[in-house]
Structure 1
């Protein structure tokens, strides 16, 4: 299972043609919709239409319908995450989320980092990507060495922590 970006499906088709996989949404929201109240979308800041969409104008209009003030708050309260609109960010619903304090810090007090490679806050995503690469290697290469992959990943993580001054 993966919850990475949608390009991963194309990557799998090209690099692991014999693998069987499916694409599906991560269920979230109150039961019976999902198991967890907070979902996978941190906010609705990015809505897009794929370039090969058969009906791009209809898709775009639907996206614009979803991100209206009224509908965005409904979606976020059902799926979890934070509203991108300041008008909703003081809603009591958001203040009770376990990551509300982190959100407030990241949007008000986080220092601007000129070089994303040295930003400790982006390191998590970088290490998640490395872990994903190791998992794909294990799944697609029967000769891969799991111990070496994990050892290399740990060494990479330590190196990056030193580079950003956290170790």
Structure 2
């Protein structure tokens, strides 16, 4: 009833400790009126199309300043979020923040073509193609104000739009593909602890919460994505079709997650600081060696952290 990523999040090795409940899932939001205005028939299907469509959707003023972004990228903000959004757009190209070997050890997985292409995409978006800018609003606020045509985010934005921009015309779609196709999942699971005074009652409550009718209620009233794959969510999608982009059931669409290790937040935050600096560095435009150096240096820092705690492995 659950995808592999959700099962892994509730397990340690082959031992299952919990029941996957709901998740933060990434999808692409797009403004349908802006698409129609620009003559774009539908959401981008590939990473190359993402930038090509963004060029058609972006608007600049007489001074060449971006006044409406074609795509709102995570160029600054909370550290973990910056690195996570980078990873979401890198994963289709074959990269990951960390790769894991057969022995359960990790190393940086972004000092490669996938990482370099993704960093170049961000640099080009700001300094070359001008489809995004450091000087305009970003993320959900920008989308709700009609100041961007596309951005990637979780499903909570649907409820936020209902509250703050109820007349906005928009839809959601799968994250564009490249070498592979998929999106991130941040799973929340339900557990009963060994110290529970009434474990049978607790387990009954877990089963109660994960019944199909409450999975549908969770989606409709809260907005997070339930993880049971055997529940029919069509009644909710009929009312809120924007949830469809978060419930892709194509077997080729992979739901993947970040590693659950103690060093990950430190690794992600330190990488994000380097990415934010890079996104502001105009000298990296058209500078393949400079882009490669940013990621190589960052990967060295990532691997040093892993080695410090005995988690590194080729």
TM-score normalised by length of structure 1? 0.38
Higher relative contact order (CA closer than 8 Å, sequence separation 6+): 2
Greater strand proportion:
2
Task: Please tell me whether Structure 1 or Structure 2 has the larger radius of gyration of its CA atoms.
Answer: 2
Structure with higher helix content: 1
